[in-house]
Structure 1
């Protein structure tokens, strides 16, 4: 299990009423939405990703989540992000979902993006601006 200091970037994410399931905690499918949100917010704000008109887009090739503790509405969680592998056209992120002030995650996982040409849907090299932003998140071996 990773600790808080293994992550390079954090984004506060408020849970929503709809996130809870009948058992009173955040439903498992919502964790993947939190993963998507921390990744894409970073790419848009720091990496120059243009989700509406950019030539390059990211598609999810793989994802995984390990549930270690419950989250529930109303909480604001802190989504930690790091880059575990940076390839020519792909990135593997590590994500940790933390309760404020906690050093161990309530959930952790990974997510692989493959960047493709929007029109052709063929892998394409990461743009320089995005690569530079992702380098800042590279995990220390």
Structure 2
């Protein structure tokens, strides 16, 4: 672990240009009484893809260009448990030619500091060939709205 990683601190709601509520479910809790770590990754995937779908730049069945997840990571700060409501903060930290790096902050109920912060990288590919392609302009335009200046 690097010194920077050791000093990482949870982000705040104001760090994200977009927040989305996500419900926890009874089955999300593990034997220790909190949401299992694998569920955090499902929250990341849901927050990102739901945003793309709702803004009309992703049709999971027909889009000729799709984003494939090539990297994820998560730093945990505090527990979330059912029946909490998770608020997923979404921002873009890098926008490349064919890839995008998201940061997702997961906030428990009304707490202002993140319970977890994740990174999620999509590489955009042609659905048929699975070869990288440039980000489609409508996708790029939407993702630019998630960048902090």
1:100 and 2:121 correspond = no
Q: TM-score, normalised by structure 1?
A: 0.96
Partner of 1:136: 145
The 1-side partners of 2:130 and 2:73 are apart by 23
Give the deviation of 1:102 after TM superposition. 1.7
Give the deviation of 1:3 after TM superposition. 1.6
Give the deviation of 1:47 after TM superposition. 4.8
Residues matched between the structures, number: 140
Q: TM-score, normalised by structure 2?
A: 0.91
1:43 and 2:44 correspond = no
After the TM superposition, which segments of 4 or more aligned residues of structure 1 sit over 3 Å from their partners? none
Instruction: Indicate the larger mover: 94-103 or 128-137.
Output: 94-103
1:1-141 paired onto structure 2 within 5 Å: 1=9, 2-140=11-149
Name the SS for the 2:55 alignment partner: helix
The 2-side partners of 1:127 and 1:45 are apart by 16
Name the SS for the 1:21 alignment partner: coil
RMSD (Å) for aligned C-alpha atoms: 0.9
Q: Structure 2: state its 5+ residue gaps.
A: 1-8
